[in-house]
Structure 1
Amino acid sequence: MERKRLNKSKIRHSIECLVINLWKGVDLNGAIPILIIDPGHGGKDPGGGINKYWKEKDMVLDISLYQYNRFKDLGVPIAITRTTDKYLDSGTRSAIVRNSGAKDCISNHINSGGGQGAEMIHSIFNDGKMAQAIADGLKEAGQNVRRVFTRKSGSGDYYYMHRETGNVSTTIVEYGFADNKTDTDRIRKHWKKYAESVVRSYCEYRGHKYSAPGKPLPGLVIDGRLGKNTTIAWQKAMGTPADGIISGQYRNSSTKPILSVDFGPEYTGSILIKAWQRKIGAKPDGFIGPETIRKSQKYLGTPVDGEIWNPSAMVKELQRRLNKGTLV
């Protein structure tokens, strides 16, 4: 949920200097972006849209990474404010957007506070047509749309992502309410569909060529070993960055049989595993352990013992479903 921030103009200069260095590490896909995606919150700021299934910061990162990769596939010059569970204060976040060179920003959030349905919030200084296009797309994708609106504070915008992002036109997208059962169920089941609807709506609004995501099947060897190729196919199916590595894991009996695992040195967990844990109803901490393995085995319909063997019946079934395109 987007929050009002105090204007921190007296530290603006130091933030601008920091952003120059931060921005050098942001993937611009080889071009100045026309759009920058902003996964709200992150790190020590979990956001307000929390329930037993997700923290807002994690769910909006999943949505944002999916959109980021889809825009790259479509050839849209794209950037993103964060790709990991990283804290950005309001000044740094808005400065990254402001200095990106982008025309538009989509800032992704999950709401809370007793309502129901998606909300789009645009600046008081623009016509709201992009926000309305996104709302129409979400409605077509099956999500209830509560409202498209603006909010003032004095003579300016209420939200800092509108006030402090300069010439970049920012639309805040709240996909639903984490404390509403209907929204929670819909987002759990259909978040990729909603994320894709935003991609399509933006492309159509800005006149970029759009094509629906294809489903090329990976053709994995059913060997029961969790290696790089299987991990890449799994990451693609879950809509997370596809590098073939299950990162940030502890070295233990659960992870040693995994060929594609990366142990530490910063035990931050894996974005892939967090997304998978949310899918199967495990604690979304990003780490592979007996609980996650048991729930995976139950989800995949293989014997449940909480261990990964090499070869593994669970991994064989994972490979079969990836090959059929039926995992998620």
Structure 2
Amino acid sequence: MSWIQDAGHGGSDPGAAKDSNIEKVFTLEAALYVNRRLSELGIASSLTRTGDVTLNPAPKTSKVKPYKKCISHHFNAGGGSGAETIHSIYSDGKFEKLLIEELKKAGYPVRPRPVYTRKNSSGGDYYYMHRLTGSCRTTILEYEFVDGPQSEKIKDKTYREGMYECVVRAICQEEGVHYEGSGSGQTPTPQKANPPKETLTVDGYLNPKTISALQRYFGTPVDGIISKPSLVIKELQRRLNKGNLG
């Protein structure tokens, strides 16, 4: 078997949640959708879970190890905006870049640094889905923030399924399989998200409320604090260098 779809969290672990946006529900939906579409297109795929069950790291990773490639489907939290992917320190990140490009082409927002790796204190992979899954190439995909600027949009199942279809297109490209759209018709293309309007006092001070507004605008974590270095200031510098704050 080639692919396995991991629905992050589940059972007693709801993952991120905000109102009706519940990560374990969305991740199961994503895994089931991608698995079904791959089957329709002739690409072998399986699932770590098919219902709302608790899967601890050991049984989950034992399910993943026999496969060549895995996508661990997730939704984010923290008030930011956009998709991001995390790959093992031993992978090249090419597939993750392909995923992000498909999401961008469909009009979905992505994070300022949408492809990255993370090491633990010992210099190995930080996430157990990378560290404990053997030779299986595992991609952690965070589709969107349950509590960010797109929190209302992701309540729309059509919007969410458009994101999942981007994953299907990326897998088809990697596998060299001809892509055919879903039977439900053309994949929906969302409109570009507009940054939320703010109610700031125009006083010239870079106060916590102004910092939070900048963080929401650029889709970086929202805490109202500028640390050293600051993600929001880095993004501001990048856009100033490009001559485009839009």
Q: TM-score of the superposition, structure 2-length normalised?
A: 0.71
| Aligned-pair CA distance for 1:208 | 1.9
2:2 to 10, 27, 34: 34
Extract structure 1 runs of 4+ deviating beyond 3 A.
none
> 1:136 aligned to 98, 101, 109, which one?
101
Pair 1:112 & 2:77 matched:
yes
Residue 179 (structure 2) aligned to one of 194, 202, 210: 210
Aligned to 2:28: 61
Change (3 A) 1:185 1:94: same
Q: Which residue of 1 aligns with 2:147?
A: 179
- Distance in 2 (alpha carbons) for counterparts of 1:62 and 1:43: 14
For each residue in 1:107-166, what CA deviation from the matched residue of structure 2 results, as whole angstroms up to 9, or x when unmatched? 000011232111100001110001111111111122111011100112210000000000
AA aligned opposite 1:197: C
* 3-state SS of 2:142 partner: strand
Indicate the structure whose relative CO is greater, using CA pairs within 8 Å and at least 6 residues apart.
2
Q: How many residues align?
A: 180
State the shift of 1:37 in Å: 0.3
In the alignment, structure 2 segments of 5+ residues that lack a partner are 186-246
Q: Percent identity?
A: 43
Matches within 5 A, 1:85-164: 85-98=52-65, 100=66, 102-146=67-111, 147-153=114-120, 154-164=122-132
CA distance in 2, matches of 1:210, 1:186: 26
> Which whole-Å CA distance do the structure 2 matches of 1:141 and 1:94 have between them?
32
CA distance in 1 between partners of 2:3 and 2:155 (Å): 26
Task: Find 1:188's aligned residue among 134, 139, 155.
Answer: 155
Aligned pairs (5 A) from 1:79-90: 79-90=46-57
Distance (whole Å) between structure 2 residues aligned to residue 215 and residue 44 of structure 1: 33
Tell me if the contact between 1:143 and 1:186 (Cα under 8 Å) persists in the aligned partners: no
More deviation in 139-148 or 123-132?
139-148
Are the counterparts in 2 of residues 118 and 175 from structure 1 also a CA contact under 8 Å? yes
- Checking the alignment, whether the CA contact within 8 Å between 2:21 and 2:155 is kept in structure 1 is no
CA RMSD of aligned residues (A): 1.2
Please give the secondary structure, in 2, of the residue aligned with 1:156: coil
SS at structure 1 position matched to 2:152: helix
Compare CA radii of gyration and give the structure with the larger one.
Answer: 1
Instruction: Report how far residue 91 of structure 1 moved.
Output: 1.0
Distance 1:192 1:199 in 2: 11
Deviation at 1:103, TM superposition (A): 1.3
Equivalent position amino acid for 2:47 in 1: I
1:6-45 maps to which residues of 2 (within 5 A)? Answer: 33-45=1-13
Q: CA deviation at 1:183?
A: 2.3
Q: 1:71 aligns with which of 28, 38, 45?
A: 38
C-alpha deviation, 1:40, in angstroms: 0.3
Aligned to 2:208: none
Q: Which amino acid aligns with 1:150?
A: T
| Alpha-carbon separation, structure 1, partners of 2:172 and 2:36 | 14
Cα deviations by residue, 1:241-292 (Å, 9 ceiling, x for unpaired): xxxxxxxxxxxxxxxxxxxxxxxxxxxxxxxxxxxxxxxxxxxxxxxxxxxx
Q: 2:193 aligns to what?
A: none
TM-score by length of 1: 0.53
Aligned position for 1:30: none
- The residue number in structure 1 matching 2:199 is none
Q: Which residue of 2 aligns with 1:46?
A: 14
- Partners of 1:161 and 1:61 in 2: how far apart? 17
Distance between the aligned counterparts of 2:75 and 2:64, measured in 1? 20
| Superposed displacement of residue 62, structure 1 | 0.9
Question: How far, CA to CA, are the matches of 2:128 and 2:26 in structure 1?
Answer: 21
